[in-house]
Each structure stands twice: as structure tokens, then as C-alpha cells.
Structure 1
Amino acid sequence: MQFETYLIFLVTTAVVVFSPGAAAVAVASQGAANGGRRALGGVFGIASANAVYFALSATGIASLIIASNLVFSVIKWAGVGYLVWLGLTALFTPAGAIRVKRSGRQSSLKALFAQGFVIEFANPKALLYFAAILPQFLDINAPIVPQILIMGMTTFLIDLTSYTAYAFLGDRLTRGEMKNWVVGLVNKCAGIALLYAGFRMAGVTVMR
């Protein structure tokens, strides 16, 4: 892989990852409710889910999943249901799965990791992205495995950097001792963002 090609892959992936979405909202909420450092559990969950999708795409299994309407639909609708549930919880319950106000009780690292992993793994857009983009950057005249490893590690590091920033952004929100109405507004915005992401995900289809 030429260096110029790698830079294009780096910039493209960074733009996609840093764009706020359901995972960013979730990890920012984890940071607000549990602190930035503890929210790293969710960050690693999201990065791990993307690593799984990257590996599937690199080995060609993603093509089989995308080709199967049943498997793809199961992943998509499970993700839609989970995001809608999170969004409704944030909108209509004072202390649900998404909390922007910090309390004395904090979630375990395992629970935060699991939430981050499920939210990202249930998003078929990540699978579509890797399946579509990887072949565009591979140099078939050079060894394939080193290129896959370089792009995989690059993606993992971008994930960690991006979602760590969102986690500490959420942490900073609560350190400012926000008024209750501001906390409520942020919770409502998070809920709406998650519902919007769920509805957008429901419209995801595979171009055949």
C-alpha cells in the first residue's frame, strides 16, 4: 500500500468515526454518568465490535452476511430495537439506560463494555462500510496480510481516540454542575438522537 493511499484511508475512516452517531451518544452518556475513565469500558466495547466487523470484512465473511437477507435483517432489526429502547428510556424515564446526570451508583466496566459492544455491533452500517471500503485500498500486487493489519490497527486506534474524546466530553458536562433543566434537555437530545439513529438504521438496505 502506497503512503498516499494509506493517508486517504486514514482521513476517510477518521471522518466517518468522528461523525456523531448512536455510539458517540452512548459513550458520552456513559462518561457523564460514570466518569471519563470508567467510560473507557464502553469505548473498548465499541472498538472491539468494529474490530470484529473489520475482521469479518477482511476474511470475506461480511460478503456472505450481506448476501443473506435473513442474517442481515436480524442484525439490522436487533439494532433498531435496541436503539429505540435506549432512546425511549432516555426520553421517558428519570434514570434509564442513558443517564447524563451522575449519581453515586456507577455501572461496572463489564456492563459498560457490553453496552458499547452491542450498540456498535447492532449497527449494520459498520459492516457495510468495511465491506465496501477495504477492497478500494488494497494493493493486490503487494502482500495482503500486512495491509489488512495496518488498516485494522489504524481503525482500532481511531475508534479509541474518537470515542475516548466523546466519553470525556460527557464527563466534562457533569463536572460543570449543570442545572436540572439543562440535564433534562441533554437527556432529551440524547434520546431523540438515538431514536433518529434507529429510524435511519431501519432504512438501511444492501444495494444488489
Structure 2
Amino acid sequence: MALHLWLTFSLAYLLTSLTPGPNVLLTVRNALRHGPAGMGVTLFGNLLAQLLVISAVAWGVGAMLLALPTAFLVLKVVGAGYLIYLGARQLFARQSVPAAATEGAVPAAQSKWRIGTEAFLVSASNPKTLIFFCAFLPQFLDHGRPIAEQFAVMYLTSAAIVCGVHSFYCFSALHFSKHVKASRVVAALKRATGALFIGLGVRLLSARAV
């Protein structure tokens, strides 16, 4: 990948990543609940889904899916339904364990699997991610160079940017929580993320492929 294209891609992707979305909200929530371990597992699930989506774009599967109205509708409904489900669970589920007791606790193996799976599904089930990469990535391809190698470079670059941006939001939230009662921060974040997930899910239902 040509250096000037890589620099342009890196800057453009950084700017698009700075606006918090469902993945950032989920990562921050898990960081406050489980500390760096929760953040790491959430990032892993997110980046695994991103690898799947970028691979689909590289193989042309993404464009094919978006060209089929029924396939896009299914992706949209599934993604919106999952976000609304997560939001409703956040808003209405009972707090079985005091937030102060669980905040910062290292998740068990079973909990890590659940956290990672949830992060993967939030990212993979959102067709807006597929739309974005289908429109965004081809702009930076140099057709005189190996295509697979360029997609690999773009994935690794985007993964590094995601890790940096999400870490910034997480550690900012953790720093803020030190100055406010932890249980209040977690409870407020739970309500806020629940409402935002529902809003994002409803908004996703109106998304178009073009």
C-alpha cells in the first residue's frame, strides 16, 4: 500500500472513529464493570467482527449482500433487534449484585465468553458497518499492488486505531469514575447506554443500503 494512501486512510478512519457508537458504549460499560480485562475482551470481540466484515468486503461478499434488498433487510432487522434487546435489558433488568461490588472485578471465563460474544454480535449484526466499509475501503486501493495485502494493512491499521480510540474513552471514563461514587457512575451509565442502544436500534431500522 502506497505511503500517501495509508496516511490518508489512517487520518480519515481516525476521524470517523472519534464519534462514539454502539461498540464504544459497550466497551466503556464493560471497562467500568470489569476494568481493563473487560475492555480487552470487548475489543477482541469487536475486532473479530471487523475482521469478518472487512474480509467480506475484500471478497466482494459485502457488495453482493447490499445489492440484495432482502438480505439487507434481514441484516438491518437483526442488527436493530439486537441493539434494542440489549438496551431493554440494560434499562429494565434488575441489579442482582451491588454495582460497587462488581465494578472493576475481573470477569470469569464464562463471563469473558459472554462479553466477547456480545461485542462480536453488536459489531457483526450492524449492516451500517458493512455499508461503511464497502464505500470507504475501495477508495484507498492501489490496483497496481496486491489487493489482499492492502486489505490486510487497512484492517491492521483500523484495528490499531479502534484500540487507541476505545482505550481513550475507557480510561477517561475510569478516571472520571474515581471522582464520583462508583455505584452511581455504573448505574447512570447502565441507564444511558440502555436508552442509547434502543435509540440506535430504532435509527438503524430506517437505514438504507444506498
Q: TM-score, normalised by structure 2?
A: 0.86
Superposition pairs for residues 33-48 of structure 1, below 5 Å?
33-48=33-48
Distance 1:51 1:72 in 2: 19
Q: 1:5 aligns to what SS in structure 2?
A: helix
* Greater Cα shift, 166-175 or 5-14: 166-175
SS, match of residue 38 in structure 2: coil
Q: Alpha-carbon deviations, 1:25-75, whole Å to 9, x = none? A: 111111111112233111110111111101110111111111122222222
Identity, in percent, stands at: 24
Please state if 1:193 is matched with 2:180.
no
Equivalent residue for 1:178? Answer: 181
Aligned to 1:82: 82
Cα shift readout 1:102-134 (whole Å, capped 9, x = no counterpart): 534746221111011001111111111111112
Contact between 1:43 and 1:164, CA under 8 Å: does it hold in 2?
Answer: no
Q: How far apart are the structure 2 equivalents of 1:17 and 1:122?
A: 18
Structure 2 residue aligned with 1:202? 205
Q: Which residue pairs with 1:9 in the alignment?
A: 9
CA contact 2:177–2:185 (8 Å) conserved in 1: no
Distance in 2 separating the partners of 1:199 and 1:172: 32
**Unaligned runs of at least 5 residues, structure 1:** none
Could you list the runs of 5+ residues in structure 2 that have no partner in the other structure? none
Asked whether the 8 Å contact 1:32–1:100 carries over to 2, the reply is: no
Correspondence 1:163 to 2:148: no
- Name the residue aligned to 1:142: 145
How many Å apart are 1:2 and its aligned residue? 3.1
Counterpart of 2:135 in structure 1 is 132
Which residue identity lines up with residue 78 of structure 1 in the other structure?
V
Looking at structure 2, the residues matched to 74 and 164 of structure 1 have their Cα atoms a distance apart, in angstroms, of 32
- Number of equivalences: 205
**1:144-169 superposed Cα distances (whole Å, 9 cap, x missing partner):** 23222211211122222222333444
Does the CA-based 8 Å contact 2:76-2:127 persist in structure 1? yes
4+ residue runs over 6 A deviation: none
RMSD: 2.4
Q: Aligned with 1:39: secondary structure?
A: helix
CA separation in 1, counterparts of 2:5 and 2:45? 29
| Partner Cα separation in structure 2 for residue 175 and residue 115 of structure 1 | 27
CA separation of 1:32 and 1:141: change in aligned 2, threshold 3 A: same
TM-score (norm 1): 0.87
Shift of 1:173: 4.9
